[in-house]
Amino acid sequence: MTNKVQWARRVPLYKVRLLYESDSKGILDEDLLTEVGYGIYACCQDLLERAVAARGRVKCRNCDNIIIRPLINGRFADSNILRCSLCGWEVACKDYHESLLRKRPALPYEPEEIFKEFAKQWPLASSSREKLLLIDRLIHEWHIHYITVGWPLGTSVIQATARQMVDLLEGLAYGPDSSKGLEQTRMVWMTRLKARRSKLDFKEAARELGIDGINRMRKQDLIDAIERVDPQDFKPWQDLIDVGTPRKS
């Protein structure tokens, strides 16, 4: 039993690159896949634990019991010590907070579901292909969130800056020998990214025109609202409409 609070180390950026490079050559490095995958998994679990702690429910680092403590302005309000009633594990509140501050800011500003889904699926993945696709899906989720929201989720798990995370995705190695489904998955994510980017452009146009309630609108609603308010100048925006977007006759 220890009263020190230690969190998982972020995964080195170069190892993620090497993992994709080995797969693109048809010689997936199984050991590296395990190292990268479980490193990401450990960080995801930590992020979820910190999310719960930010709501006043601290997980005992010895027996996983939940220690409930109210917070005021992000600080535990009623005690200088966090102590587990089941096993006796304890830590000074100050030390616990400092352990959080030593990590990159992650919560409560980051969406938990992105990390929760990976943490749920990783232990269930049985094949190397399944594991690699899970990692690939998570990285693409980070990128889309950064493009649309501006918060670099991946930097809480990968040792990289926001710019390096963007470069990572755009420079990931894919080839004819990549694991089955990886290239197809990439195309799906690029389509989603294009749709998200175009919606941001429509939001900006609607904002400039003074249209209310834009954050609650779907992309087609934004298109219709812009066309109603500014029908003469709508044509330049049509280039942003994705192929297949339904149009009103």
Question: For the CA atoms of the chain, what is the radius of gyration?
Answer: 22
pLDDT of 190 above 70:
no
State the chain's mean pLDDT as an integer: 75
Domain map of the chain by residue range?
A: 11-178, 185-240
Of the chain, the percentage scoring pLDDT greater than 90 comes to 22
Half-sphere exposure of 157 (CA within 13 A, CB side): 29
pLDDT of 168 above 50:
yes
Structure confidence at residue 27 (pLDDT): 86
pLDDT of 171 above 80:
no
Structure confidence at residue 241 (pLDDT): 40
3-state SS of the chain? CCCCCCCCCCEEHHHHHHHHHHHHCCCCCHHHHHHHHHHHHHHHHHHHHHHHHCCCEEECCCCCCEEECCEECCEECCCCEEECCCCCCEEEHHHHHHHHHCCCCCCCCCCHHHHHHHHHHHHHCCCHHHHHHHHHHHHHHHHHHHHHHCCCHHHHCEECCHHHHHHHHHHCCCCCCCCCCHHHHHHHHHHHHHHHHHHHHHHHHHHHCCCCCHHHCCHHHHHHHHHHHCCCCCHHHHHHCCCCCCCCC
Query: Can you read off the two tokens belonging to residue 21?
Result: 């490079």
Structure confidence at residue 118 (pLDDT): 94
The distance of Cα 110 from the centroid of its chain, to the nearest Å, equals: 7
Q: Higher pLDDT residue, 248 or 91?
A: 91
Give the position of tokens 């959080």: 100
Q: What is the pLDDT of residues 37-50, one digit of tens each?
A: 999 999 999 989 88
Beta bridge partners of 58: 67
Closest listed residue to residue 160, CA positions, set 40, 44, 12, 7: 12
Structure confidence at residue 68 (pLDDT): 85
The distance of Cα 74 from the centroid of its chain, to the nearest Å, equals: 23
Q: How confident is the model at residue 166 (pLDDT cuts 50, 70, 90)?
A: confident
Residues 53, 108: Cα–Cα separation, whole Å? 10
Q: What is the pLDDT of residues 224-237, one digit of tens each?
A: 777 677 655 444 44
- CA dihedral sign of residues 73, 77, 79, 83: negative
CB burial of 187-197 (b: ≥16 within 10 Å; e: otherwise) equals eebeeebeeee
